[in-house]
Structure 1
Amino acid sequence: MNKTGVIFHPIISSIQKMALYETKSKYYLVGSNNTQTRFRVLKIDRMEAKELEIYDDKVEYTQEEIHNLICMIDSGNRRATGGGFSKVISAFGIVGFIKFLEGYYIILITKRCKVAVIGHHAIYKIEDTTMVYIPHESVRLLHPDETRYAKMFQNIDLRSNFYYSYSYDLTHTLQHNLTNPKRFEPNLNPEVKDDDIDSISNDLCTSVVLSNSDAMDTQHFGIRTQPHKKFVWNIHLLSDSVRAELHPDWIIYITHGFIGQSNINIFGRSIYVTLIARRSSRYAGTRFLKRGANFQGDVANEVETEQMVHDSGVSSFSQSHFTSFVQMRGSIPGHWKQEMSKMMAKPAITIDFYDPFAETAGLHFNELLKRYGAPIIILNLVKQRERKKQEGLLSDELSSAVKYLNQFLPVEHQIIYKTFDMARKNKGTANVMDHLAGIARNSVMRVGIFHNKPQYYSQKTATVVGQYKNHFGSLQTGIVRTNCVDCLDRTNTAQFAIGKCVLGFQLCALGILDTPNLEFDTDCVRMLESLYEDHGDTLALQYGGSQLVHRIKTYRKTAPWTSQGNDIMQTLSRYYSNTFSDAEKQNAINLFLGLFIPEEEKPQIWDYTNDYYFHHKPIIFSLKSMTQWWDNGVLKCLPYAFNDLTKACSELIQVHSRDVEMIDSYLDYYRPYELGVLDDLFSLKISNSIRDFMPSFTTSYSPFALRVRPVRRREEGSTKGAAMKNPSVTGQSSSCSTASSTSSSSENESSDDEDGSYAKVAEGTSSKGSIPEPFTFKRMFPTMKQVYGTELQRPSPEDILTYKKYVLIGKKASGSAKSIFTSPCGEMKTVGDIPRDTCFKVTPPIVSQGSIQVYKKYISVGEKGGVRPRASDMEIYRKYASFK
């Protein structure tokens, strides 16, 4: 809620359940929106997929009415065509439409699973899809290459880590989603000029309140915003012509990357840690075929990773405590490559052409300033010392580009460039993780974190980071950009180090910890490490063709010797994928993203030797300034993000209900008009929780307690994390969940934990050469003295006598207390006006003038000494003395 008294909530943007019905001439999609009991009917002409019509646009139906509607369509088609009305398939959403060389196909989501929740907003992973050919067989024009294109398109396995949500915008960060819109633009084609930045304010909110101030104090409005197209992977399947004809309720925007959610159970209080990785759909591809950046500033393997921590005890999106931190990875913004023509594991790095004015890097960093604000902190992890300069060429390019661009920025908003040679430090005796922890802390202190609530009244200053605002909370201003050569192994370890540092500040912001320091050997950090390794394995499979080779344990130097064999296998798998299958993967990605559109009598995609001109659009000559490399208005918004300060909404409706959410969770889980499976009611399976990382027998249930030895791995004998299987973008079989994060060393680390010897080690006893103690009742159920250090005892006679006196005084005072504290009617009245203090605000007590005068006299006695008593006081003292 902002200061104008307006609360904005997202509008449900998609129909959650639909069915495809078939006739001889048309397809009918009958959709239902469970949270609003609204049904929509979409007619698709089988002759031309672009002719889409929507019937009963604003009509809301009940279940009985939609059944009658289907029967009416059925009977009408029978009279007109003599055919039937048959159901083809049930689906959960429309991915889009695609056309190759014959006719259009419609892609439908037929199976899904819930992988995370953010408040009441559910995030789903696509489990299965289907393609339905729209034109009728009687009008189908056969083409010999149609089947090959269809198989190539289906190589993009939509079951491999594609996500969507009906009510939450996955393409934007939590900070952007919780930012109130500043203007209303139905067409959403903003051209913000430099002079308009000073006048940008909450005009939309102010006008709404002024026009409705007589109706109620607080207005609830639902808004629909447009997604960030960079992270939408089906934007080509939902082309402009299709989106113009389709109602937004039919459209689902899918993202590609990784989403994992874990539960930190702190003595019964569930704190959810959610990791959301969004892969960019621009300049997307495989490892050696996509390096550097294109002329538009889009870099290869660009991934935005958001670490979100929130209190799940309150499901409301507007009332719960949310914290988040955003970091990103991406290739070095320049024009360089590694040729795969020779059979070698590490091809030589070559610079295509040099960019003396850093135009490509300027376009890239301009977009970062617009999305995240300032400062931009670059953490470069490539090698700095080499016998033959290879990775050093990239460092020189990036360093010179940053130096050139910083000349024209104000000092307080300049790009911060840091280098750290992880490979060299890891070969020596230096502690890599300690160095990364120092870099991470300095970076987080500069950019801050996002928190949607004000800081606690008693919160320590050292635990507060970010641009704090009194009425809102803290904002993250800036971004930490991490890169190595591939942006895979070293980058993932550095991002984990940053995430570990951020987690401490997030838990402090939620009031759980007093200090942001987290030790490695705790269950909480092990869980975060597992989450980041799943995150790294998934992104490595999507970009490099194999899981991580060098893991976090490698740089902590805690990996067992048996992990070397696994590293060799992953290296060979990555080499094979890069050499033999990346070209076919790249063609499938280019076809899916619409970078290549098949046309008759033109060369087909397999006829091209490379896809250079698909990703590098022709440069249009323009007299662009070489000094002002940022867009108009960006500089005036710093350190805040330009996109947040100019946020617009495309649809605005007033919510008549005072409910804080526009989502009906009951109908989302329980469907009273349908038959369902019991397991579907518990569809959310959190990948892991803190209990999976705790030892089987322990007396310390705190997730922040130090553990002496590694604990049993969560993959052994566990079915959790199954929602993240097969993360390869092109359908390559993999086992990210069952063999990722800790798969390389799980078998060797857990051999001693299963026999229950961890309990003895945690208590400080040695397990070498000792016989395990037998499992007894006392060992499984320890006493209160052993667990809490105290136990219940019978009270002493003195305590019982004191309590009896207390009860007796209460009985004798009940009569007078009733006359003082109750009214004649028997209703309780407050004796004094006690202020309701909270952890956010403390109201000071009101001191009367008489009390102030007494205090002043007390102070004057200390300063000037005692005063002669009055005659009346002396007379009272004489009477007292004579009485004694």
Structure 2
Amino acid sequence: MADIGGHAIYKIEDTNMIYIPNDTVRITHPDEARYLRIFQNVDLSSNFYFSYSYDLSHSLQYNLTILRMPLEILKTETIQTRQESFDIFEDEGLTAQGGSGVFGICSEPYKKYVWNGQLLDIVKNTVHHDWLLYVIHGFCGQSKLLIYGRPVHVTLIARRSSKFAGTRFLKRGANSEGDVANEVETEQILCDASVMSFSAGSYSSYVQVRGSVPLYWSQDISTMMPKPPITLDQADPFAHIAALHFDQMLQRFGSPIIILNLVKEREKRKHERILSEELVGAVTYLNQFLPPEHAIVYIPWDMAKYTKSKLCNVLDRLNVIAESVVKKTGFFVNRPDSYCSILRPDEKWNELGGFVVPTGRLQTGVLRTNCVDCLDRTNTAQFMVGKCALAYQLYSLGLIDKPNLQFDTDAVRLFEELYEDHGDTLSLQYGGSQLVHRVKTYRKIAPWTQHSKDIMQTLSRYYSNAFSDADRQDSINLFLGVFQPAEGKPHLWELPTDFYLHHKNTMSLSQTRRSYTYWWTRGVLNHLPLPYDEVTCTENRRKLIVKKFHKYEEEIDIHNEFFRPYELSSFDDTFCLAMTNSIRDFMPKNVGIDPSPFTVRKPDETGKSVVGNKSNREETVLQRKTAASAPPPPSEEAVSSSSEDDSGTDKEDEGAVSQRSTPVKMTDTGDNIKITENIVQSMKDMYGINLSDVPSEDDLTIYTRFVQLGQNQHKQDKNNQQLCSKHRLDGVINLAQTPNIVGSCDLGGLCPPKQVSSSLFFSFK
């Protein structure tokens, strides 16, 4: 699915459940078959990803930061504390090859984003660590942006949290440990694909987060209403739950933590505004104990209100917010600023935040975006922030002269398609349907035919939430180990609610509550704005293992991993050629003299239709965007609507128009079907010239001169004329565009090579 610095990212295609003991000693249990069916409802072939050599649970900034730690210190500490991590046979193999080997650093995965962590903990101490393959759930996509032939890989990775995970109406708000529902960490990675090496290549990344409002709240779906009322389940005057959540974010991302709240603020009937009022109070309470320079930034913006207004441009306002956010957090890049940026810095570049180190820049802090469902509005807001960050990333790598990107360019269209696939996938996993309101909806360029399909889309999501979400929730609880079957305890299907499974602190009588004022983890404030997880300290170094590899080990052999010479394959099937390409998929066929992916083009000039092809879209959904055990929609066109938006929907037009010619109009006359109209692309669009029906006298004079030049050329080259006389016609004009052309005659005969001494370049008015 992607390649990051030579490390391949894979998607699970198929799984098999194997019973390890011999069948002769197998003890059957009457409930085992039912638990197996529930367990297998989590379709591991849908959006589960892994890598043999790259830690997907951590960001690129974390993975490259630990590489900068002194290797000798890591080797000394890990050998003293974790001797069992080295295999004796591996050491002997290295010695047999003359002692040559490669040292690699393995970090403990971030358990929050690992979905099979509970399953592997059972066998963690009994098997070799090479058998432990950690899996993440979410989205992974990569596209190739060609900038004048220079390949740049744009990668989008979404990590879904395994804590308090579930479906839309069954998992809202936060649990007692500060984990929120639908929490997803989205990372966009930009790399110069001409050099596949972390040490020599250029890499940049930007991280942002989405998640439910960190409060105790829920919606009762027993009333069978499309929009159940929002209720606050428990009073939290000291913002204990919000404090636990933001403490996790300070440890992982540093400061500042920026909240972009897109929940409605003005409503006739108080519905979403309940969450906004409660969140403002929680943030205000927590900020009074933090230093002012590290305070939580709260940005409320009623996106639904701006969408309905005809006088406001939603994306322009989001662009202003995105600029301010990226300037505060900065982004990660593994190389120092280029000399031209230092010599002639852009005015926006000087205002950029983050943390500057000798080897590049670090992102400090993160943007946390939320609405009620964290689906449609959130995805559009995250796209605008990602688009702004992408401009800075391209500028930092020296690929554009100013950190600005405009809509209707090949680069932004490629990035928008990645984010739409990303939003569709996450929406299917959490809400049971694809996105309804996309970027084109808020740009108000969506086709009006979509509005007639709102009823079917609403029924699809309503069906998913009312009839299939409960079964999906049971399978997720069993897969993640939230519920573990045991003798003498109620079965999973006998529980009236899973509230106590996800709120474990409510079951313990002796709770150790944190301080109401010092609500952060000890040591976090000492290193801000840097994240505590990336600081070089003894506690973090204990999480790392130095591992020895043979130099021909499969895990570090980038060439064999990428090209797979031991398999029967073709170049057309390799990942580097099959991935989305800006030139092949987005650039116009008649691009002319401006092949830049940063040039603004009209919608009808693009290589791919702006509204897309419906059949291709559905095929993409089946291959890349299916959610874990997502229910099938009522019909192939049924894409359910979101409860968070009231405006129209968006979907691709049926039948994309070919970019090479206009549609062919067919008429039926009797039994024969005749083509009455087939207008090809005009000569002006194809060649840049336009010939009139009646040429002027000046043009006729020019034409006559060219005919004479052609005749004179044939007279001067008598030797070649005699050799090719059998295959030539009298009066044929032979104009060569480049010197020293070697070829054969026009009529297909085998003629000797012919050298042309001069070139002719001509144009018409």
Cross-structure match for 1:152: 38
1:651 to 545, 562, 567: 545
Secondary structure of 1:405's counterpart equals: helix
Are 2:235 and 1:235 equivalent residues in the alignment? no
Secondary structure of 2:591's counterpart equals: coil
Cross-structure match for 2:315: 433
- The runs of 5 or more residues in structure 1 that have no matched partner are 1-114, 191-218, 758-770, 784-884
Cross-structure match for 2:628: 729
Contact 1:463/1:505 (CA < 8 Å) preserved in 2? Answer: no
Q: Distance in 2 between matches of 1:146 and 1:781?
A: 71
Q: CA deviation at 1:656?
A: 8.8
Cross-structure match for 2:332: 450
Are 2:393 and 1:503 equivalent residues in the alignment? no
Q: CA deviation at 1:569?
A: 2.7
Q: CA deviation at 1:651?
A: 2.0
Higher strand content, 1 or 2: 1
CA pair 301-652 structure 1, distance change in 2 beyond 3 A: same
Cross-structure match for 1:400: 281
Contact 2:614/2:655 (CA < 8 Å) preserved in 1? Answer: no
Q: Distance in 2 between matches of 1:355 and 1:292?
A: 13
Letter in 1 for 2:603: R
- The runs of 5 or more residues in structure 2 that have no matched partner are 83-100, 641-648, 664-676, 690-765
Letter in 2 for 1:676: L
Length, aligned pairs only: 625
Q: Distance in 1 between matches of 2:263 and 2:686?
A: 51
Q: CA deviation at 1:773?
A: 5.8
Q: CA deviation at 1:519?
A: 1.1
Letter in 2 for 1:145: D
Secondary structure of 1:259's counterpart equals: strand
Q: CA deviation at 1:686?
A: 1.5
CA pair 688-337 structure 1, distance change in 2 beyond 3 A: farther
Q: Give the alignment of 1:145-184 within 5 angstroms.
A: 145-180=31-66, 184=74
Contact 2:590/2:685 (CA < 8 Å) preserved in 1? Answer: no
Q: Distance in 2 between matches of 1:225 and 1:265?
A: 34
The range that moved more, 358-367 or 464-473, is 464-473
Q: Give the alignment of 1:456-471 within 5 angstroms.
A: 456-459=338-341, 460-464=345-349, 465-471=352-358
Q: Distance in 1 between matches of 2:639 and 2:456?
A: 13
Q: CA deviation at 1:667?
A: 2.6
Letter in 1 for 2:221: M
Cross-structure match for 2:164: 283
C-alpha distance after superposition, 1:130-161 (max 9, x if no partner): 11112222222222221111111111000110
Are 2:198 and 1:317 equivalent residues in the alignment? yes
Are 2:429 and 1:530 equivalent residues in the alignment? no
The range that moved more, 461-470 or 346-355, is 461-470
Secondary structure of 1:572's counterpart equals: helix
1:331 to 168, 192, 212: 212
Contact 1:172/1:228 (CA < 8 Å) preserved in 2? Answer: yes
Are 2:540 and 1:634 equivalent residues in the alignment? no
CA pair 189-422 structure 1, distance change in 2 beyond 3 A: farther
Cross-structure match for 2:645: none
C-alpha distance after superposition, 1:431-461 (max 9, x if no partner): 0000000000000000001000000111124
Cross-structure match for 2:748: none
Are 2:360 and 1:479 equivalent residues in the alignment? no
Q: Give the alignment of 1:122-141 within 5 angstroms.
A: 122-141=8-27
CA pair 656-457 structure 1, distance change in 2 beyond 3 A: farther
Letter in 1 for 2:629: T
Letter in 2 for 1:627: T
Q: Distance in 2 between matches of 1:671 and 1:175?
A: 29
Letter in 2 for 1:377: I
CA pair 187-443 structure 1, distance change in 2 beyond 3 A: farther
Q: Give the alignment of 1:343-382 within 5 angstroms.
A: 343-382=224-263
Q: Distance in 2 between matches of 1:681 and 1:694?
A: 22
Q: Distance in 2 between matches of 1:452 and 1:385?
A: 44
1:246 to 123, 127, 131: 127
Contact 2:157/2:188 (CA < 8 Å) preserved in 1? Answer: yes
Q: Give the alignment of 1:845-884 within 5 angstroms.
A: none
The range that moved more, 515-524 or 278-287, is 515-524
CA pair 598-354 structure 1, distance change in 2 beyond 3 A: same
2:585 to 655, 680, 692: 692
Q: Distance in 1 between matches of 2:156 and 2:173?
A: 26
Q: CA deviation at 1:737?
A: 13
Q: Distance in 2 between matches of 1:726 and 1:551?
A: 16
CA pair 502-669 structure 1, distance change in 2 beyond 3 A: closer
Contact 1:726/1:735 (CA < 8 Å) preserved in 2? Answer: no
CA pair 715-254 structure 1, distance change in 2 beyond 3 A: farther
Secondary structure of 1:368's counterpart equals: helix
Q: CA RMSD in A?
A: 3.1
Q: CA deviation at 1:669?
A: 4.4
Q: CA deviation at 1:567?
A: 4.0
Q: Distance in 2 between matches of 1:396 and 1:180?
A: 41
TM-score computed with the length of structure 2 as normaliser: 0.77
2:469 to 582, 587, 595: 582
Q: CA deviation at 1:471?
A: 2.0
CA pair 679-578 structure 1, distance change in 2 beyond 3 A: farther
Cross-structure match for 1:682: 574
Contact 2:11/2:47 (CA < 8 Å) preserved in 1? Answer: yes
Q: Distance in 1 between matches of 2:79 and 2:373?
A: 39
CA pair 470-383 structure 1, distance change in 2 beyond 3 A: closer
TM-score computed with the length of structure 1 as normaliser: 0.67
1:258 to 130, 134, 139: 139
Contact 1:262/1:686 (CA < 8 Å) preserved in 2? Answer: yes
Q: CA deviation at 1:698?
A: 2.4
Contact 2:211/2:368 (CA < 8 Å) preserved in 1? Answer: yes
The range that moved more, 179-188 or 602-611, is 179-188
Q: CA deviation at 1:259?
A: 0.6
Q: Distance in 1 between matches of 2:428 and 2:23?
A: 39
Letter in 2 for 1:301: N
Contact 1:358/1:401 (CA < 8 Å) preserved in 2? Answer: yes
Contact 1:726/1:734 (CA < 8 Å) preserved in 2? Answer: no
Q: Distance in 1 between matches of 2:621 and 2:229?
A: 39
C-alpha distance after superposition, 1:182-238 (max 9, x if no partner): 575659999xxxxxxxxxxxxxxxxxxxxxxxxxxxx97411111000000001110
Q: CA deviation at 1:621?
A: 2.1
Q: CA deviation at 1:691?
A: 2.9
CA pair 139-220 structure 1, distance change in 2 beyond 3 A: closer
Q: Give the alignment of 1:197-236 within 5 angstroms.
A: 221-236=103-118
Contact 1:402/1:415 (CA < 8 Å) preserved in 2? Answer: yes
Secondary structure of 1:393's counterpart equals: helix
CA pair 272-623 structure 1, distance change in 2 beyond 3 A: closer
Q: Give the alignment of 1:423-822 within 5 angstroms.
A: 423-429=304-310, 430-459=312-341, 460-464=345-349, 465-619=352-506, 620-622=510-512, 624-645=514-535, 646=537, 647-648=540-541, 649-653=543-547, 663-669=556-562, 676-678=568-570, 682-683=574-575, 685-699=578-592, 700-710=594-604, 711=606, 712-713=608-609, 715=613, 721=620, 724-733=623-632, 744-747=650-653, 750-751=656-657, 753=659, 755=661, 774=680, 780=686
Secondary structure of 2:339's counterpart equals: coil
Q: CA deviation at 1:650?
A: 3.3
Secondary structure of 2:588's counterpart equals: coil
Q: Distance in 2 between matches of 1:228 and 1:456?
A: 33
C-alpha distance after superposition, 1:845-876 (max 9, x if no partner): xxxxxxxxxxxxxxxxxxxxxxxxxxxxxxxx
- Higher Cα radius of gyration: 1
